Amino acid sequence: YRIGVSENAAYQPVFSSDYKRYGGTGTPLRTVKAQKVEWHGFEQSVSVTIPPMSTVIYQKQQGTTKRK
């Protein structure tokens, strides 16, 4: 899924309801970097994997914000 983000940075998954400890399949998730693709009213966006019937929370990595 593509989601608009406010900062040109890297975002890492910090929670997934698909983790095996919660009875999920354990689909691997990766850190994603913002791309210059306008989406949801933002100048940049990220493309993330969201396993079926799951919730995933991403957090901006500290120190990864890029200047324009």
Q: Kindly state the helix (H) or strand (E) to which residue 33 belongs, with its residue range.
A: strand 32-33
Residue 62, pLDDT score: 86
Token duo for residue 21: 């400890």
Read off the pLDDT of residues 2-32 as tens digits, 9 standing for 90 and up. 999 999 999 999 999 999 999 999 999 999 9
pLDDT(63) > 90: no
**CATH of region 2-60, choose from 1.10.3720.10, 3.40.50.920, 2.60.40.1180, 3.40.309.10:** 2.60.40.1180
d(CA 52, CA 54): 5
- Tens of pLDDT, residue by residue over 33-56, are 999 999 999 999 999 999 999 999
Specify the long-range contacts of residues 47-50, CB closer than 8 Å, at least 24 apart. Answer: 47/1, 47/2, 48/1, 48/2, 48/3, 48/11, 48/13, 49/1, 50/1
User: Domain-by-domain residue ranges, the chain?
Assistant: 2-60
